[in-house]
Amino acid sequence: MKAKKSALEIMRMGVYVFFPVAVFYVFNHPDFFDKFVEEKRRVFFPQSNRPPLDIEENRRVLQEKIKERKLKATEKSN
Protein backbone atom coordinates (compact mmCIF):
# COMPACT_ATOMS: atom_id res chain seq x y z
CA MET A 1 0.00 0.00 0.00
CA LYS A 2 2.86 2.36 0.84
CA ALA A 3 4.53 1.72 -2.54
CA LYS A 4 1.33 2.53 -4.46
CA LYS A 5 0.89 5.73 -2.50
CA SER A 6 4.46 6.90 -3.11
CA ALA A 7 4.20 6.03 -6.82
CA LEU A 8 1.00 8.05 -7.01
CA GLU A 9 2.67 10.99 -5.28
CA ILE A 10 5.62 10.82 -7.66
CA MET A 11 3.27 10.76 -10.64
CA ARG A 12 1.25 13.69 -9.26
CA MET A 13 4.42 15.69 -8.62
CA GLY A 14 5.56 14.93 -12.16
CA VAL A 15 2.26 16.22 -13.54
CA TYR A 16 2.42 19.32 -11.32
CA VAL A 17 5.89 20.12 -12.66
CA PHE A 18 5.48 18.96 -16.25
CA PHE A 19 2.09 20.54 -17.05
CA PRO A 20 3.07 24.21 -16.52
CA VAL A 21 6.36 23.67 -18.34
CA ALA A 22 4.56 22.03 -21.27
CA VAL A 23 1.94 24.79 -21.43
CA PHE A 24 4.66 27.45 -21.33
CA TYR A 25 6.59 25.60 -24.04
CA VAL A 26 3.58 25.33 -26.37
CA PHE A 27 2.05 28.77 -25.91
CA ASN A 28 5.27 30.79 -25.74
CA HIS A 29 6.55 29.94 -29.22
CA PRO A 30 6.75 32.81 -31.69
CA ASP A 31 4.92 30.73 -34.30
CA PHE A 32 1.96 30.26 -31.98
CA PHE A 33 2.01 33.95 -31.10
CA ASP A 34 2.06 35.04 -34.74
CA LYS A 35 -0.55 32.54 -35.79
CA PHE A 36 -3.17 33.05 -33.10
CA VAL A 37 -2.54 36.17 -31.03
CA GLU A 38 -1.59 38.53 -33.85
CA GLU A 39 -4.49 37.25 -35.94
CA LYS A 40 -6.95 37.92 -33.12
CA ARG A 41 -5.42 41.34 -32.52
CA ARG A 42 -6.00 42.24 -36.17
CA VAL A 43 -9.61 41.09 -35.89
CA PHE A 44 -10.34 43.05 -32.71
CA PHE A 45 -8.24 46.13 -33.54
CA PRO A 46 -8.02 46.70 -37.30
CA GLN A 47 -5.54 49.37 -38.35
CA SER A 48 -8.29 51.81 -39.26
CA ASN A 49 -10.03 51.24 -35.94
CA ARG A 50 -7.07 51.02 -33.56
CA PRO A 51 -7.62 51.95 -29.92
CA PRO A 52 -6.66 55.50 -28.91
CA LEU A 53 -3.24 55.76 -27.32
CA ASP A 54 -3.27 59.11 -25.55
CA ILE A 55 -5.82 60.83 -23.33
CA GLU A 56 -6.76 63.62 -25.74
CA GLU A 57 -7.38 61.23 -28.59
CA ASN A 58 -9.39 59.00 -26.26
CA ARG A 59 -11.56 61.96 -25.21
CA ARG A 60 -12.10 62.97 -28.83
CA VAL A 61 -13.14 59.45 -29.84
CA LEU A 62 -15.44 59.20 -26.83
CA GLN A 63 -17.10 62.54 -27.68
CA GLU A 64 -17.63 61.37 -31.28
CA LYS A 65 -19.26 58.15 -30.06
CA ILE A 66 -21.52 60.08 -27.69
CA LYS A 67 -22.60 62.39 -30.54
CA GLU A 68 -23.30 59.39 -32.78
CA ARG A 69 -25.43 57.74 -30.09
CA LYS A 70 -27.39 60.94 -29.49
CA LEU A 71 -27.92 61.34 -33.24
CA LYS A 72 -29.16 57.75 -33.53
CA ALA A 73 -31.46 58.23 -30.54
CA THR A 74 -33.01 61.37 -32.05
CA GLU A 75 -33.45 59.63 -35.41
CA LYS A 76 -35.16 56.70 -33.70
CA SER A 77 -37.55 58.91 -31.79
CA ASN A 78 -38.60 60.82 -34.94
Structural domain boundaries in the chain: 1-44, 52-78
Count, residues in the chain: 78
Which DSSP category does 37 fall into?
I
Q: Is the pTM of this model over 0.95?
A: no
> In terms of C-beta density within 10 A (0-12 exposed, 13-18 middle, 19 or more buried), how is residue 72 classed?
exposed
25, 17 contact by CB (below 8 A) = no
What pLDDT digit, counting tens, does each position of 28-70 carry? 887 877 788 778 877 777 776 666 678 888 888 889 999 999 9
